[in-house]
A and B are shown apart, each in its own frame.
Chain A
């Protein structure tokens, strides 16, 4: 090759094809997707909690995209919910689809684990609730106090996990994060007939 114009021109044409295929076409197809009926916008507390989820990198171990029964049936069998459709993410900017399942999928964790106390305690020390869990503990989202004040959210931990003689109270970040987790619910039907099935779509709540 002798011409830098040909080289760089060609290289940019190739990149333009790539942008068209993976950015522009999906944009045209998806940018005006309507929210799935039943999907509610986040409240401001849930949005703050969502930012806590992002800041602490929860997405690097948890997906939010159960796969279809045809492709990976175990996802549904584990109670993670139906396969999601684009409309399920209408309020998600940025989307938190994730690409790693060191931990379980969380798209329907609000249905599966609806207890605020369970979720707070599990964030404080996951191994108090799930033996063998490798999820990090997040003690910095909590505060150990000698005595709780009136508007504190006190976390009731299993015996032996709270610091001796102290109560563990949740910081606002933890409270918001749990509000966000409890809002994760795609148990209503997706409108897309390809993914709707005749079986019940709501995952069964697990015992706290």
Chain B
């Protein structure tokens, strides 16, 4: 096969496909009112803020900020629809609560494992007597508990909250999701145990033995069931932007995971290309859409203003769906794989600027004139910074894929910093924000200590800034030293030590933030603290837990 012909035809086909899709989706959607963007509001509700994580006074201030920005006076939505929404929230409560509890546990496990791995890089004789604590294993436990524990549990929990709201339909088939979550977590525990015991399948992001993955594949499919059932029985005509991302992600992930885990099929270098196809797509076609869907729902909902451009969101979605799927090959630059594949991936990495720009411009226009709302809304602070980090990490990734930059950053800590900018700065911060919004709605309680939300925000942002900046600089210097044949290899190790230490400090500060978050979560669930002024919507479930 002629590589140039493959490249060219892939590009032409895909570009035509993209144009056709955008055209077909846009047909009839040129009207300025963009009814599709308003389905997240009840009739008459636009202009009304919703920020359950705020205190009464910060909610008033938030409403005031929105009112002075001139989107109309404080509106009140159709009371019947709002009551229906409240009962839909309550109906999904126990399920989402279960997802979030799992997420919280995995967050703490992952933080501990990550911090241990980080310290080991500059203190290699620490904790060496146990095999499962060796760097290569504890690092893998960290990655897998983030990738299959924290991120999907927090993300899918949020999906299950948003779906009934945007489809204005109570969640159907909740039992499937419960069973699915149990199987998923059982699979994950078995998988982490297997990795710790040395049963590692040997491909990055896919270390769990394939036998264990069956549990997770079945669990994942069951978690997707309520989405499909609710979608089919929905009461709204328009599918809101968040539904596109969530629906697509829930169908993409099983295909990615099952294709990647097929045993006995991939050998030699070909397994490496498949590996990075999966490794990058699980970020781009699973976590990213889930987090973007959350931003597309919560950001306009909090400030009571529909997203400005429905067409830009269409462009953003389909361009992401097309371009992101093909960027994985840039991880094999300079490696023994077909050159056309690396070139294709670099081109598509650059093309990712299109969806990122579409998203960023859209969000900026939606927030325009409303920036003061960040001061009053804890959810918005997390989600806004997360959205900003999405733009930053994607743009960084596009340029990092270029041969001239990749040559230096490949094989260094720079890439680790970049990966954390995406999965932590963007995805994790957005999920934090979503959890702050959702928890009060499903428990019917306020967050008891608003100051802890601030502490959480500043600790994780500050810690992460230290983490990212130090590792980025250290990684770049490491790459330059490695490419310079006149310097011994050990130079590239020695010069990273101060940066690795700074990264450990950053990671520790982030870990403290997570502990505070977890403590606050527990305090809320057990009904500690001063604010108990709202009725619990499912006291039966939580009341028992509180009593025990």
> Separation in Å of the A87 CB from the closest CB of chain B?
8
Q: Which single member of A4, A56, A61, A135 contacts B247 (CB below 8 Å)?
A: A4
* CA gap between A159 and B274 in the complex, in Å: 47
* Cβ < 8 Å to B, chain A residues 41-99: 54-61, 63, 65, 67-68, 71-74, 77-78, 83-86, 88-99
Q: In the complex the two chains form, is B334's CB within 8 Å of A67's CB?
A: yes
The segment from A5-13, A149-157, A162-170, A175-183 found at the interface with B is: A5-13
Assess whether B277 is interfacial by the CB under 8 Å rule: yes
Assess whether A21 is interfacial by the CB under 8 Å rule: yes
Which residues from chain B contact A86 at a C-beta distance below 8 Å?
268-269, 336-337
Which residues from chain B contact A63 at a C-beta distance below 8 Å?
411
Number of A residues near B (Cβ < 8 Å) is: 79
Q: Which single member of B136, B285, B331 contacts A61 (CB below 8 Å)?
A: B136
Which residues from chain B contact A130 at a C-beta distance below 8 Å?
490
Which residues from chain A contact B413 at a C-beta distance below 8 Å?
102
Assess whether B128 is interfacial by the CB under 8 Å rule: yes
Whether A6 contacts B203 in the complex (CB less than 8 A), given A22-B345, A26-B270, A140-B130, comes out as: no
Assess whether B125 is interfacial by the CB under 8 Å rule: yes
Q: In the complex the two chains form, is A137's CB within 8 Å of B336's CB?
A: no
Which residues from chain B contact A191 at a C-beta distance below 8 Å?
none
Q: What are the interface flags for A1-28 relative to B under an 8 Å C-beta threshold, 1 for contact and 0 otherwise?
A: 1111011101111110111111101111
Which residues from chain B contact A77 at a C-beta distance below 8 Å?
485
Which residues from chain A contact B412 at a C-beta distance below 8 Å?
100-101
Q: Which single member of A10, A19, A26, A85 contacts B341 (CB below 8 Å)?
A: A26
Q: In the complex the two chains form, is B331's CB within 8 Å of A18's CB?
A: no
Assess whether A37 is interfacial by the CB under 8 Å rule: no
| Closest partner residue, chain A, to B232 (CB atom) | A4
Q: In the complex the two chains form, is B268's CB within 8 Å of A126's CB?
A: no
Q: Which single member of B237, B269, B277 contacts A2 (CB below 8 Å)?
A: B237
| Closest partner residue, chain A, to B483 (CB atom) | A74
Q: In the complex the two chains form, is A132's CB within 8 Å of B490's CB?
A: yes
> Separation in Å of the B409 CB from the closest CB of chain A?
11
- Size category of the B interface is 35 or more
Which residues from chain A contact B24 at a C-beta distance below 8 Å?
6
Whether A99 contacts B336 in the complex (CB less than 8 A), given A23-B274, A31-B270, comes out as: no
Which residues from chain A contact B328 at a C-beta distance below 8 Å?
22
Which residues from chain A contact B259 at a C-beta distance below 8 Å?
19, 23
Which residues from chain A contact B129 at a C-beta distance below 8 Å?
139-140
The segment from B6-14, B86-94, B105-113, B175-183 found at the interface with A is: B6-14
> Separation in Å of the B284 CB from the closest CB of chain A?
9
Q: In the complex the two chains form, is A60's CB within 8 Å of B140's CB?
A: yes
> Separation in Å of the B350 CB from the closest CB of chain A?
15
Q: In the complex the two chains form, is A4's CB within 8 Å of B202's CB?
A: no
Assess whether B235 is interfacial by the CB under 8 Å rule: no
Which residues from chain A contact B201 at a C-beta distance below 8 Å?
94
Assess whether B360 is interfacial by the CB under 8 Å rule: no
Q: In the complex the two chains form, is A55's CB within 8 Å of B407's CB?
A: no
Whether A18 contacts B281 in the complex (CB less than 8 A), given A57-B139, A97-B332, A134-B493, comes out as: yes
Q: In the complex the two chains form, is B131's CB within 8 Å of A56's CB?
A: yes
Q: Which single member of B17, B136, B285, B329 contacts A56 (CB below 8 Å)?
A: B136
Assess whether A138 is interfacial by the CB under 8 Å rule: yes
Q: In the complex the two chains form, is B331's CB within 8 Å of A99's CB?
A: yes
Between-chain CB contacts (< 8 Å), 20 pairs: A1-B25, A19-B325, A26-B338, A27-B266, A56-B131, A56-B198, A57-B136, A57-B200, A59-B204, A63-B411, A68-B334, A93-B267, A94-B266, A97-B332, A99-B204, A102-B413, A127-B124, A127-B125, A134-B497, A140-B130
- Give the 5 A-B residue pairs with the shortest CB-CB distance, closest first: A57-B136, A18-B325, A55-B198, A77-B485, A11-B248
